[in-house]
């Protein structure tokens, strides 16, 4: 009879709650989350609510973001639209993260409000949620325990509209720490069960026994080269265990992977893996050599120019390894290595001797801040004299016109041997003409 009365009382209270709930909800709508496992915890619009098992929540009409967390399972998110005075249902199957973990371990028992969310070693539930207080509140007869790696852990409790409460718990191997939520650590006792546990699953839910076994965060991180030349790449390789968030230099990466990097200066890479089981960090340094081995040569270094000279060209040869941009004055932009035949000619064609120096300058730079300059000279000697057989294009000065010479002033050579043949004939002709002229006058 007594049991029947108690059963009737419980049924009446349940009915009263069902009837009163819509009145309390006002204009709200209801959301029922059917999820596996049932211990999965509900966050609505970023705020903790409680576990989904046997509960539904009321929300204002409109769009809402529902996050679902259960340690040992990948987080799930759903977007729902709530209508006033109506019930919305969502069904979710959480995806388990495979694998068993092993000790050493310690344990934490939490006494406090059922339904309060528990976070370990961080404030973001997506990375640090481990369960709710009801899952960790008993170690007598049935086991509801939070199993953790030995060491110091930051424990955070969130409950309804109360401010988050955080404390530091120092857990030794094979010991159990009892925490009174929103008050502090109450006691530490021996926990022989820790010595008996071997490999266990991360999550175990049940009617009487629950446990969450938090995996210690570990990892590996390496760089394929500690030093590279500018423009060369290095390979980063990493892996992690027990981590819910992994980063390299504050950029999110997968839990394990590899990445090719091409730093332009000395760069330190920091790999960070965090989770409820702690923090793992590792650094790798990649130094960048920005130096450039640069050379510039002109052969031959001296060339003779002009008539009879054998060499009329010179070869310019250069090299600028590890460079991104190379210019060669006065030629212009060139590749990082090469050679070129240069025709040799003085800058002036004026007649006369040649003594001229031509300077070639190589400028090399790279994206890592390296800069180098080299010079080489070509000495040109010889002469700009006109070669034999060449046409003289310079006009000769005009010849001077001799003045007319009076016959009386004409000086004749004194002997016939001094006269050219043509001149002698001319003089004899003149003498004959003069004699004939005198003879004609005497006859008259």
Tell me, rounded to whole angstroms, the distance of Cα 388 from its chain centroid: 68
Which pLDDT score is estimated for 345?
81
What's the domain range around 165?
Answer: 100-213
Which pLDDT score is estimated for 262?
95
CATH code of the domain containing 44:
2.60.40.1120
Domain boundary residue, one of 67, 96, 125: 96
- Same domain for 104 and 187, yes or no, is yes
- Same domain for 285 and 336, yes or no, is no
Tens of pLDDT, residues 237-250: 999 999 999 999 99
For the segment 10-25, the average pLDDT, to the nearest whole number, is 45
Instruction: List all residues 6 or more positions away from 97 whose beta carbon is below 8 Å from its beta carbon.
Output: 72, 73, 74, 202
| Sequence-ordered strand ranges (E) for 249-402 | 251-253, 257-261, 267-275, 278-289, 294-299, 302-305, 313-320, 325-329, 332-334, 337-343, 353-365, 371-383
Cα Rg of the chain, angstroms: 53
Which pLDDT score is estimated for 151?
95
Residue, of 4 and 368, whose pLDDT is higher: 368
Residue, of 306 and 292, whose pLDDT is higher: 292
Q: Write phi, then psi, for 43 (nearest 5 degrees).
A: -115, 130
Q: How many domains does the chain have?
A: 4
Question: Which of 153-162, 332-341, 395-404 is the least confident region?
Answer: 395-404
pLDDT of 8 strictly over 70:
no
- Same domain for 104 and 184, yes or no, is yes
Structure tokens at 377: 């000279």
Residue, of 9 and 332, whose pLDDT is higher: 332
DSSP β-ladder status, 165-171 and 257-261: unpaired
Assigned domain for 428 exists: no
Smallest CA-to-CA distance from 213 within 107, 352, 55 is with 107
Instruction: List all residues 6 or more positions away from 309 whose beta carbon is below 8 Å from its beta carbon.
Output: 303, 382
With bands split at pLDDT 50, 70 and 90, how would you rate the model's confidence at 143?
confident
pLDDT of 386 strictly over 80:
no
- Same domain for 308 and 341, yes or no, is yes
State the maximum Cα–Cα separation within the chain, in Å, rounded to a whole number. Answer: 206
Distance CA 289, CA 295 (A): 18
Which pLDDT score is estimated for 410?
40
Tens of pLDDT, residues 44-78: 999 999 888 877 899 999 999 999 999 999 999 99
The pLDDT mean for the chain works out to 83
Q: Which residue is listed with tokens 């029947």?
A: 4
pLDDT of 20 strictly over 50:
no
CATH code of the domain containing 164:
2.60.40
Which pLDDT score is estimated for 117?
96
8 A C-beta contact, residue 378 and residue 344: yes
For the segment 368-378, the average pLDDT, to the nearest whole number, is 91
Domain boundary residue, one of 241, 269, 289: 289
Assigned domain for 324 exists: yes
Tens of pLDDT, residues 71-113: 999 999 999 999 999 999 999 999 999 989 998 999 999 999 9
- Same domain for 136 and 164, yes or no, is yes
Structure tokens at 62: 């409109």
pLDDT of 19 strictly over 90:
no
pLDDT of 208 strictly over 50:
yes
Structure tokens at 293: 């081995």
For the segment 3-18, the average pLDDT, to the nearest whole number, is 44
Domain boundary residue, one of 256, 289, 322: 289
Which pLDDT score is estimated for 431?
59
- Same domain for 146 and 189, yes or no, is yes
With bands split at pLDDT 50, 70 and 90, how would you rate the model's confidence at 116?
very high
Distance, first Cα to last Cα, the chain: 205
CB atoms within 10 A of CB 399: 6
Assigned domain for 416 exists: no
């Amino acid at each position: 009879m007594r049991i029947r009365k108690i059963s009737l009382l419980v049924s009446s209270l349940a009915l009263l709650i069902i009837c009163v709930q819509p009145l309390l909800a006002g204009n709200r709508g209801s959301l029922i989350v059917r999820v596996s496992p049932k211990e999965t915890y509900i966050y609505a619009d970023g705020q903790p609510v409680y576990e989904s098992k046997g509960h539904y929540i009321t929300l204002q009409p409109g769009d809402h973001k529902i996050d679902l967390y259960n340690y040992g399972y990948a987080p799930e998110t759903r977007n729902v639209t709530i209508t006033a005075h109506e019930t919305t249902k969502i069904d979710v199957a959480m995806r388990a993260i495979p694998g068993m973990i092993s000790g050493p371990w310690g344990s934490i028992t939490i006494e406090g409000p059922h339904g309060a969310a528990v976070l370990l070693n961080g404030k973001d539930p997506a990375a640090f949620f481990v369960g709710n207080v009801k899952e960790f509140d008993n170690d007598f007869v049935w086991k509801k325990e939070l199993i953790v790696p030995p060491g110091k852990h930051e424990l955070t409790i969130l409950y309804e509209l109360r401010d988050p409460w955080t404390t530091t718990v120092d857990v030794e191997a094979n010991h159990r720490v009892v925490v009174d939520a929103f008050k502090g650590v109450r006691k530490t006792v021996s926990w022989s069960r820790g010595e008996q546990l071997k490999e266990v699953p991360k999550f175990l839910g049940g009617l009487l026994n629950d446990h969450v076994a938090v995996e210690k965060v570990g990892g590996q991180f390496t760089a394929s080269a500690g030093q590279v030349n500018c423009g060369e790449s290095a390979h980063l390789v990493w892996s992690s265990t027990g981590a819910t968030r992994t980063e390299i230099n504050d950029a999110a990466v997968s839990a394990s992977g590899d990445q090719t990097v091409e730093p332009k200066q000395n760069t330190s890479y920091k790999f960070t893996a965090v989770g409820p089981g702690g923090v793992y960090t590792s650094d790798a340094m990649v130094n960048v050599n920005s130096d450039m081995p640069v050379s510039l040569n002109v052969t031959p270094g001296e060339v003779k120019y002009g008539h009879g000279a054998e060499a009329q060209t010179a070869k310019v040869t250069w090299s600028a390894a590890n460079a991104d941009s190379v210019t060669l004055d006065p030629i212009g932009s060139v590749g990082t290595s090469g050679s070129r035949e240069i025709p040799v000619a003085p800058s002036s064609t004026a007649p006369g001797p040649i003594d001229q120096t031509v300077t070639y300058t190589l400028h090399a730079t790279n994206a890592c801040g390296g800069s180098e300059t080299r010079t080489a000279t070509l000495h040109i000697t010889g002469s700009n004299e006109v070669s034999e057989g060449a046409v003289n294009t310079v006009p000769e000065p005009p010849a001077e016109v001799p003045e007319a010479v009076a016959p009386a002033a004409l000086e004749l050579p004194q002997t016939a041997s001094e006269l050219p043949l043509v001149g002698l004939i001319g003089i004899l002709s003149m003498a004959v003409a003069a004699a004939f002229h005198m003879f004609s006058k005497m006859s008259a």
